[in-house]
Structure 1
Amino acid sequence: MQDPADEFAAIASEIAERAQAAGIRVATAESLTSGAIANALGAAPDASEWFTGGVVAYAESVKRDVLGVTAASITSRECARELATGVARLLDAEAAVSVTGVGGPEPEGDEPAGSVYAAVAVRGDIRDAHFSFSADDPSVVVHQTVRAALELLRDALPELEARGA
C-alpha cells in the first residue's frame, strides 16, 4: 500500500504543473479534512506561485459568516459548491476545491457516516461530487476524502499542453 503522503504528493505535483501552466491560483475550503488538502497542496512544487491558501471551515459559523454558505444543510452538495465559490472569492483564486460531510463514526442528521460532498470551481465552472466512504474509522474517511478532492481538482484543471512543441 502506498504511503498517503507519497500518494497525495504525486497528485499535488500534477496539480502544481497544471495550475502553473494555466496561470491559475488555487485555494481550499475544508471541513472534515481540517486542512489536510491545503497541507498537501502547500507541500507541492512551487506552491508559493499558485497556491493562495485555504480556510478550515469546520464550524458552521465559519462556513456561513466567512465563506457565505446559505445552504440549508452544511453537509450537502449545495454547501460544497458554496464553499468552493466563497473561498475562491475570499482568497482571490481562479480555482478552489472544497469538502464537507460526515467523517463518522456516527451519522449526522440524514447523512450517514462517510457521506462526503466535494466541489471544484475553476474560473466560474463548478463541478461537484458525492462520495460514500467506509465509515469504520474517521481517519480513513479523511484519507479517502483528501485523495478524492485532490483528484477532482486535478481533473478540473486544464490539461498540460504537449511538451516540446
Structure 2
Amino acid sequence: MSPKAMDRVAWVGEALKRRGWRLAVAESCTGGLLGHRLTNVPGSSAYFLGGVIAYWNEIKTRLLNVREETLARFGAISPQAAQEMAEGVRRLFQADLALAITGVAGPDPEEGKPPGEIYVALAGPQGIQVRRVTGGSDRQENKARAVEAALELLETALEEPAEA
C-alpha cells in the first residue's frame, strides 16, 4: 500500500515492521511531538524504541555525543548538530534508523537564527540525510512542520528498496 493510501505515520510503521527495523528519535525544538505522533499508532512498540528530548546543549553532548566543537562552531541549530544528534541517538538505542530535530520553534530568534529555522536528520544503514525546514514565528506551526518534515524524510527512505 502506498503512503498516499494511508496515514503517513501508520505507513512508516508498517514499513518499519516489514523490514524488522527499529526507530529512535532525538528532539529539541519539538519537545517530544515526533515521539507522540509515532506512538499514537497502535502497535508502535513493535518498531519504536524511544527517544531523547534534548533541549539543553549539555544533554546533547552528554547523552547524544554531539561534540562541543560542533556546538561552538555551528551552534545547536545547524545541520551539523542535527546529524550528530541522529547518529548519537541511533547508537544510544542501537536502532536501525534514527530521526533528529533541532531548530528555533519561535516566536523569538535563538543563536542569531530566525524562528522557524529547523534541521531534521535521518541516520540509517544508507548513511545520513539532513533537511532544512523553514517556517515563521508561530511556535505550534513550526513544531508541526518539523515533525512532518521528519516523517517525510523517513517515508522517503523507507520507499527505497532495502539492501540485501
Partner of 1:6: none
After TM superposition, the score normalised by the length of structure 2 is 0.87
Specify whether residues 17 and 160 from structure 1 end up closer, same or farther in structure 2 by C-alpha distance, changes over 3 A only.
farther
2:32 is equivalent to residue 35 of structure 1: yes
1:54 aligned counterpart, secondary structure: strand
Unaligned runs of 5+ in 2: 1-5
| Whole-Å separation in 2 of the counterparts to 1:65 and 1:81 | 16
Q: Deviations over 1:106-140 (max 9, x none)?
A: 111231111000100112511110111122x2111
Runs (4 or more) in structure 1 with deviation over 3 Å come to 158-161
2:53 is equivalent to residue 56 of structure 1: yes
Which residue among 90, 93, 96 is the counterpart of 2:95? Answer: 93
Q: How does 1:82-161 map to 2 (within 5 A)?
A: 82-123=84-125, 125-135=127-137, 137-159=138-160
| Whole-Å separation in 1 of the counterparts to 2:129 and 2:42 | 25
Contact 1:18 1:160 in 2 (8 A): no
Q: Which amino acid aligns with 1:153?
A: L
| Backbone CA RMSD of aligned residues | 1.7
Specify whether residues 37 and 23 from structure 1 end up closer, same or farther in structure 2 by C-alpha distance, changes over 3 A only.
same
Q: Deviations over 1:16-63 (max 9, x none)?
A: 011111111000000011111011111224211111011101111111
Specify whether residues 86 and 78 from structure 1 end up closer, same or farther in structure 2 by C-alpha distance, changes over 3 A only.
same
2:7 aligned counterpart, secondary structure: helix
Q: Deviations over 1:65-104 (max 9, x none)?
A: 1100012211100000011110011011010111000111
| Whole-Å separation in 1 of the counterparts to 2:116 and 2:105 | 5
2:8 is equivalent to residue 11 of structure 1: yes
Which residue among 80, 101, 109 is the counterpart of 2:82? Answer: 80
After TM superposition, the score normalised by the length of structure 1 is 0.86
2:102 aligned counterpart, secondary structure: strand
| Whole-Å separation in 2 of the counterparts to 1:11 and 1:20 | 14
Contact 2:24 2:50 in 1 (8 A): yes
